[in-house]
Structure formats: C-alpha cells, structure tokens
Amino acid sequence: MEISDNHYCFICGGDNPVGFKTPIEVNVETRSASCTVTVAPEFQGWAGMVHGGIIAALLDEVCAYAGMTVAKTVVTGELKTRYRKPVPIAQQITATARVVEQVRRTVLVEAQLTLQGDILASAEAKMIVMPS
C-alpha cells in the first residue's frame, strides 16, 4: 500500500471543503506537535459539546505529526482515548502530543486536549512506521 498526501485530511487538509484545515505545529527537537482549533457547532454530539469522534480525530492527528518527527510516514496502529471532561464547542482548544519512545517500527505517543490549561481528554497512540 502506498501512502500519499492529497491534502484532503479531515483535520489538517487544506483542500477538504468540510475539513478543519487546522495547521499543525511541529517541533523536531522536542519530538512534539500541537494545534489550536475552535470546533464549530456542526461537530457537536450533545448540545454544546464536541462529538467524541472529533476529539479522537484531533488527538490522533497531533499524535501522527509528533510521530513524524522520528519517521517520515506513520499510520495509527492503536489509539486509546480517555474523555475526562466535556469539550465545549465554539471555544479555542489546544491539542498537543509528544513522542515517548520508539521501539522498532512502533512510535509511542502521548497527547492531551486542553482548554485554558485544563485537561479535557488524553490519548496514548501506537504509530506504525511505514517503509519508504
């Protein structure tokens, strides 16, 4: 399977007309990634709350970008998400991730979704390094 970027990623893809188009900041030195986003009401679950799948997608995306600080192309092998508090729509939230370790082709990453420093959700991901 060939992995390629057609800029249609739901979270970061600039060409996806219904996507978030969220720029992801990467720090190779600290093996981390982050983004800030305000989720529109169209992506809510219960009234006023971001849908859990959207939360997982945001955490997955920053985990992938953090993973790409140690390998050119990674895909998600496993994503364990913990929902701690409701994530409100229409407020600026921040997703951050950092590489914890790499074991062969598996990059272990931890992530958090925060609002004004308060942790609303967290994730642990196993990103799989794809051959070039």
pLDDT of residue 74: 96
Place of tokens 């390998």: 71
pLDDT at 132 over 80: no
**70: DSSP letter:** T
Mean pLDDT to the nearest integer, 16-30: 96
At 13, list the tokens: 């893809």
Type and span of the H or E element at 108: strand 106-115
The predicted pLDDT at position 47 comes to 97
Tokens at residue 2, please? 């060939």
- pTM of the shown model: 0.96
Predicted pLDDT at 5: 86
How much of the chain is helix, strand and coil, in % rounded to 5?
A: 15, 45, 40
Asked if the model's pLDDT at residue 1 lies above 80, the reply is: no
Q: What is the mean pLDDT of residues 48-64?
A: 98
Over residues 23-35, the mean pLDDT reads 98
The mean-pLDDT minimum among 7-11, 86-90, 91-95, 112-116 falls in: 7-11
CB count, 10 Å around CB of 50?
26
pLDDT digits (tens, 9 = 90+) for 58-74: 999 999 999 999 999 99
Give me the mean pLDDT over the 79-94 stretch. 98
Cα distances from 131 to residues 1, 28, 68, 108, in angstroms, run 10, 20, 13, 17
- Quickly list DSSP for 6-58: -S--TTT-TT-TTS-----EEETTTTEEEEEEE--GGGBSSTTBB-HHHHHHH
